[in-house]
Amino acid sequence: MKPTQTELVGRPVPRIDARSKVTGQAAYIADLPAEGVLIGRMLLSRHPHARVSRIETGEARGLSGVRAVITAGDIPGDNQIGVILPDQPLLVAEKALWIGDCLALVAAESESAAEEALERIRVDEQPLPVIDDPEKAMQDTAAPLHPGGNVHTYLKIRKGDVERGFAASDIVFQETFHTQRQEHAYLETLGAVAVPQGDGSLQVFGSMQCPFYVQKGVAGVLGWPLNRVRVVQTTTGGAFGGKEDVPSEICAFAALLAVRTGCPVRMILSREEDLRRSSKRHPMTIDYRMGASKDGRILSAQVRVVADTGAYATISPVVLYRSTVHAAGPYEIPNVNVDTYGVYTHSTPNGAFRGFGTPQVTFAHESMIDQLADRLGMDPIEIRLKNGLRTGSATATGQVLTDSVGLEETLLKARQESGWQERRGVPQTSSTLRRGIGAATMFYGVSLGAKGWSLDAAAASAQVHRDGSISVATGCTEMGQGAQTVIAQMAADRLGLGLDRITLLPADTSRVPDSGPTVASRTTVFSGNAVLDALEKIAANLAAAAAEMFECRPREISFEAGQVHGGGRSAPFEEIAEQCYLRNVHLAAEGWYVSPPCSFDNQTGQGDAYYVYGYGTQIAEVEVDLETGRVRVLRITAAHDVGRAINPQGVRGQIEGGVVQGMGYGLMENFQVIGGQIMTPDLATYIIPTAQDVPLIRSIIVEAASSDGPHGAKGLGEQPLIPTAAAIANAVAHATGIRMRTLPIGPEALRRAINGEDEKR
C-alpha cells in the first residue's frame, strides 16, 4: 500500500461530540430511562474517626417503599474496594476512618422513602481521636490507621552525592512549601445505574473514566467472575482524575442493591455528597534544598515530600511515584536526593487530579529556581535555559533523553511571545497597584511509567461496514478532553475518508480487552496507536482485494479523498467495501498497543521512569492590589510541546482549560479539612474561577515529534495545569518582592505578608 496523504491529522476540526452536547441530545447518567428504577442512597459516618458498635436497620427495612437495606455483613464477595492497596472496605463494619465512610445502603421506590429509611437506621458510633496532620501521623507514637503503620508509600531517588554537590556550590539555600487540597468541581456529579440481566449477569452504566477498574471492583464485591459484569461509560460531564477511583465505589453500591432487589438501581450523588465522597488533589509539604555555582549551574538538589493521602491510599502510590520522578524539575542536576512519603490521616482520601502529583512539586522547584536567579542576579529564563533538559541530558532518575525534548523551544517561544524582556524591567506601579511577570517550566512523563507499566496497554476494535462507514471502539474514555475527535481524525485519515464516515462507540468492557485507565495523558497515544494497528490490518485486506480488482499489486493501492486508487484505476471507497463483503474479505480487526518498557530501581530511584516526556513553559503577568492583596491575572503565555498536534483547535482548548484550572489552584481553590471535618462542603464555600477571572491566554504549540506516538503525538491533557500556579507565584514575587510559599495565594494571606504580619507565608 502507498502511504495515505494526510488530510485530517494536524488540522483544526470541530469536535465530533459537540452538537449532541450543546443541543442536549447526549445522554448522561441522569438521562437513562427511569421506569422501574429504584433509588439508591448512602448512610455516611457522622465522625471522621469512630468505633461502630451497632447498625440497627430493622425499622428502616419495614418502611413502605423500601426494598433493601444493606450493611457490611450483607456483601456476598470481598468487602474491599482499594484500587492499589487492599486497605479500603466498601462498607464499614467496625471503624470509620473519615467523614465519608459508608455504613449502610438503601434502595427505595422514591427519594422520600430512601431519605426516611436513612433517618430510621440507628448507628452507635463512639468518636475516637483524630489525626489530621501527616507529620504527626508519621511519629512512632501515633496510633496506626491501618496495620503496618501510617506511612504506606515511601519512594526515593539517589543520584550522585548531594552533600558533595552542596560542598562544591557557591550558594546553598533551603525553603519549605505547602500545597492544598483541590476539588475537581466537574459539572456532572458521580452517578451509576446497575441493571440485572435475565442471564444472571449485571450491566453497570456510569459517569466514569476507568471502566475496567469499575468492572474489577464490582465483580470483587459481588464475588462474581469478570465476565458476568459489563460496564458501559455513559456520556461523562467532566472528570479531571476525579472519576478514576471513586466510581468503583459508587457503581459497587448500585450493583449490590440491584443484585439484592433484582431491580435496576440508580445512584446519583448530590453536589454536597459528591464534594464529601470524591477524592481530592493531595496536599503536600515540600522541603527543598538547592545548591548552585555562581554562574547559575545547579549542582545539587535535596527534596523531601510528605503527602497527606487521607484515610485510604486509593491511587496515591502511583501519584507519589510521579511526584518523586518530577521533584527536581526539568533540569539536568548531577546530584539529587528525593524522599517521598504517603501518609494516612483521618481526612478525605486523595487520589488522581489533573497533573497527578506534579503541580505540587512544580510549585516548589520553580519557586526555588526563581529565588536562585534572584540571589545570583540572573534572568529567570536564562537560568532555566542553562539548566534545562535537552537531547542527551540525564534526568534525576538517570534516564538519558534521546527522543522528543522540546523544553528549550517552549522557553524561547514563550519568552518571545510574552514580551518578557520589556515587561521584566521595573514593575509598573501606581499608588496601590503593582504589576509583575513570572515564568515556570515543567516536564511530564507520558503514560503510567515504570510503576504502572503492567496497566500500560490499550486495545481497540474497528470494523468497515459494507457501505463504507466505520465503527471504532476503544477502551479509553471521552470525558470532555476531545479524545473521540482525535481518534476519529486518525482513523479517517488512515483510510483517506472524511470524519462523517467514522463512529466512535461508547467505552464498554464487553467490546475490547482491558485497556487500563484513562489517565496520565495517555489516550491519544495509546488508543490512537491501537486504532491504527487495527486499521493497518483492515487496510491490508482492503488493499489485497482492491489490487485483485484493479489487476495491480497491493503496494500500489492508496486511499485518498474517499477513493481507492491503484494500477491507474480508482473506485469509491464504499464500492470497494461492498465488493469485499461479496468476496468474504474480513474487514474487522482488533488493535493493541503496549508502552515501551520503563524501569525504576526502588533502592536508588534510577531508571527510565517514563518512555517519553512532554514539556511546557508558562509566563504569567499579574496585577497586585497592595491594599487588599488581591491578585488579578492579566495574561498567560503558554507554550507546550505536544509531539504533534492532531487537532490544533483541541490542543488550544486543552491549554486554555488547564491554565484556568491551574489559576484556580494557585489563587483561590482550597478544599479545607480541619480535625477531619469538611469546612468547604458546597460550591458556596469552595471557590473556583468564573468567566470573569479568565485572563488573556496565548497558546503556543511546539511539536517535538515522539517516535512512539501516532503521527509523533504525545499526551497533553495534564500539562497545561502543571506550571500555572508556579508562574503566578513567581509573578507575584516579581511584583511585590514577597515570596509566597503556601498555596493558594489568597488575598488575606498576601495582604498579611505585604504588611509583614505573616512570616511563614
Sequential DSSP letters for 454-513: GG-EEEEEEEE-TTS-EEEEESS--SSSSHHHHHHHHHHHHTT--GGGEEEPPPBTTTS-
* 445 contacts: CB under 8 Å, gap ≥ 6: 322, 325, 326, 520, 609, 610, 612, 613
As beta bridge partners, residue 28 has 235
pLDDT given for residue 472 in this prediction? 98
As beta bridge partners, residue 69 has 106
Question: What is the spatial distance between Cα 406 and Cα 704, in angstroms, rounded to a whole number?
Answer: 5
Residue count of the chain, please give it: 761
Query: Buried (b) or exposed (e) across 504-522, using 16+ Cβ within 10 A?
Result: bebbbbebbebbbbbbbbb
Question: What is the spatial distance between Cα 326 and Cα 329, in angstroms, rounded to a whole number?
Answer: 5
Is-contact 205 264, C-beta < 8 A?
Answer: no
Strand order across the 229-233 sheet: 66-70, 102-108, 38-44, 265-268, 191-196, 202-206, 229-233
* Helical H segments across 168-263, by residue range: 211-222, 246-261
As beta bridge partners, residue 563 has 560, 572
Strands (DSSP E) along 97-209, which ranges?
A: 102-108, 122-127, 151-159, 171-179, 191-196, 202-206
The full set of domain ranges for the chain reads: 18-26+457-594, 35-128+184-277, 284-450+600-754
How many CB atoms within 10 Å of residue 500?
Answer: 10
Nearest CA among 184, 231, 716, 235 for reference residue 479: 235
Is-contact 671 744, C-beta < 8 A?
Answer: no
Backbone phi and psi for residue 494, each to the nearest 5 degrees, phi listed first: -65, -30
Is-contact 168 239, C-beta < 8 A?
Answer: no
H-helix or E-strand spanning residue 523: helix 523-550
As beta bridge partners, residue 443 has 615
**CA dist 52 → 97, 131, 757 (Å):** 11, 18, 44
**CA dist 539 → 3, 92, 260, 711 (Å):** 11, 53, 48, 17
Question: What is the spatial distance between Cα 433 and Cα 313, in angstroms, rounded to a whole number?
Answer: 44
Nearest CA among 733, 619, 718 for reference residue 367: 733
Place of cell 539536568: 332
With both helix axes pointing from N to C terminus, report the angle between 724-736 and 358-376 in degrees, rounded to the nearest 10.
30
Question: What is the spatial distance between Cα 143 and Cα 666, in angstroms, rounded to a whole number?
Answer: 34
Question: What is the spatial distance between Cα 576 and Cα 542, in angstroms, rounded to a whole number?
Answer: 7
Q: What is the DSSP letter of 227?
A: G
Q: State whether residue 587 is helix, strand or coil.
A: coil
**CA dist 297 → 334, 335, 605, 640, 648 (Å):** 10, 12, 23, 24, 36
Residue 77 in grid coordinates: 464477595
pLDDT given for residue 521 in this prediction? 86
Place of cell 524561547: 412
Is-contact 713 706, C-beta < 8 A?
Answer: yes
* 213 contacts: CB under 8 Å, gap ≥ 6: 83, 244, 245, 247, 248, 517
Report, in this order, helix, strand and coil percent for the chain, each rounded to 5.
30, 25, 40
* Helical H segments across 617-685, by residue range: 648-667
In degrees, to the nearest 5, what angle opens at C-alpha 293 toward C-alphas 289 and 298? 50
Nearest CA among 294, 355, 368, 295 for reference residue 329: 368
Give Dmax over CA atoms of the chain in angstroms: 85
The rounded radius of gyration (Å) of the Cα atoms in the chain is 27
> Which one is the CATH code of 284-450+600-754: 3.30.1330.20, 3.40.640.10, 3.40.50.300, 3.30.365.10?
3.30.365.10
Is-contact 313 307, C-beta < 8 A?
Answer: no
Is-contact 690 187, C-beta < 8 A?
Answer: no
Enter the CATH code of domain 18-26+457-594. 3.30.365.10
As beta bridge partners, residue 742 has 178
Is-contact 646 707, C-beta < 8 A?
Answer: no
Q: How many CA atoms lie within 13 A of 514 on its CB side?
A: 11
> Which one is the CATH code of 35-128+184-277: 3.40.50.2300, 1.20.1050.10, 3.30.70.260, 3.30.365.10?
3.30.365.10
In degrees, to the nearest 5, what angle opens at C-alpha 423 toward C-alphas 422 and 427? 130
Question: What is the spatial distance between Cα 66 and Cα 114, in angstroms, rounded to a whole number?
Answer: 7
Question: What is the spatial distance between Cα 226 and Cα 218, in angstroms, rounded to a whole number?
Answer: 9
Report the chain (761 residues): mean pLDDT per 10 consecutive residues.
75 94 95 92 98 97 97 98 97 96 98 97 97 97 97 98 98 98 98 97 97 98 98 96 97 98 98 97 98 98 98 97 98 98 98 97 98 97 98 98 97 97 78 94 96 91 98 94 95 96 96 91 94 98 97 96 96 97 97 96 98 97 96 98 97 97 98 97 97 97 97 95 98 97 97 84 68
Amino acid identity, residue 478?
Answer: E
pLDDT given for residue 5 in this prediction? 59
Residue 13 in grid coordinates: 476540526
Question: What is the pTM assigned to this prediction?
Answer: 0.96
